[in-house]
Each structure stands twice: as C-alpha cells, then as structure tokens.
Amino acid sequence: MKVALIGATGFVGTQVLKELISRGHQTTAIARHIDNIDSDSDLVTPKSANVLNASEVADAVAGHDAVVSTYNPGWTNPNIYAEYLEGAQAIQAGVKASGVKRFLVVGGAGSLEVAPGLQLIDTPDFPEEYKPGAGASREYHKILLTENDLDWTFLSPAIEMHQGTSGVRKGTYRTALENPVFDENGRSIISSEDLAVAIVDEIERPQFIKKRFTASY
C-alpha cells in the first residue's frame, strides 16, 4: 500500500513509520521538519507540510491509499486545546480535498467510558495537565462522528502508553470500542510499538470503519 503518515516524527508516529516500513508499505512521512524523520529506507519519502493548512495537507496526501494522522501539537504546548482542534480539522479537510477515502486518526484515551456515562477525563484522578489535550481530542472525536464522506477510524490508545513497555513489541493486543481494555492487573496499558501494530493492522485489514476503537494488552 501507499500510506501518508502525518506526524511522522512524534511519539507514536515514529513507531508507526517503523511498522509500515517493516511490512513493506510505501510511506510518505509528513512532518514540519523533515530533518527529524528517523529513516533512511527506500520505502520512505519525507515531505514537509504545515498541518494547519488544509491545502498543504491535500497536496501532501493526494494519491495515497490511506492517511494516518498521529498529529499532536505537544502535551506541554500551552495552546494545545486550540491548536489540536485547528490542526485536526485542517487535516480532515485536506484529506477530503485530496480524494483519499481511508483516514485513521490517533486520538486520546480521555473520552473512553470507565463507567456508564462517565468518561476517563471526567474522573477525579485524571491529571490536570493532560485535560486540555484530552479535552480537545474528545471534542474532535465528536466532530469526526459527523463525517460521512471519509472511511475514518478514531483510535484511542490504552490509558497508559510508553515506549518499551512490557517487552517493547509483543505483536499482540486486545480491542474494544468505547471502554478501556484492562489486563489481569487492572491496568489499561500498551507500548507505542504495539499501538503501531494495531494501527497498521487496521489499515491493512479494516474492522472499524466510521468507528472508534481502543487497543491494549
């Protein structure tokens, strides 16, 4: 396949890029600063684009079989709420304008339901510093639910996600739709490497078209 990856230098994006390469997919790695793209593979074409500009996004992703967006303006960004929503909607508009139908967005876990009618972000112990970004992701998920033209998927990671967690890349995970998946220790956790496995699996063999899903051990 030919895949456009937005956010190829980020925490999740770097792992998705490695996973796409390992499976032989031609990948356009899109980032604002292409010098930070960590690959010298012949399968990778670096491309610079400003994700806040829908026309630049459209030009960058045109002609691909699928677009994966791991866009995040940065958890320490004081304007993360506004910039996330602006960027996410510009990316969506750009993908639509490009004519590419398949669109997978990596969002956040904050909007997962931990009890009937109670989302994770609204629980008392949810860290204050993550609320702006998680809140923006929740709002964008609502926007994406109204998208009828794209074959979109919204992926919420496990509540805990780290690089190198539990053996780095196990190649296995479990999925659910609106609720977190917990392991035998009561933790919802996955490595960024295995989240990348779930992302590329969904691109290769779609199961969640016009749906949200979550992946965890």
What's the chain's average pLDDT? 93
Can you give the CATH number for the domain in which 72 is found?
A: 3.40.50.720
Strands of 26-31's sheet in order across = 44-48, 26-31, 2-6, 66-69, 102-106, 151-156, 211-216, 174-176
Mean pLDDT of 200-209: 97
pTM: 0.91
Say if CB 138 and CB 178 are below 8 A apart: no
Name the domain count of the chain. 1
Band of pLDDT at residue 6, cut at 50, 70 and 90: very high
Per-residue pLDDT of 40-89, as tens digits, reads: 899 999 999 999 999 999 999 999 999 999 999 887 888 899 999 999 99
Domain holding 177, by residue range, is 2-216
Burial 98-122 (b: 16+ CB within 10 A, else e): bebebbbbbbbbbbbebeeeebbbb
Say if CB 28 and CB 57 are below 8 A apart: no
For residue 31, give the H/E element and its range.
Answer: strand 26-31
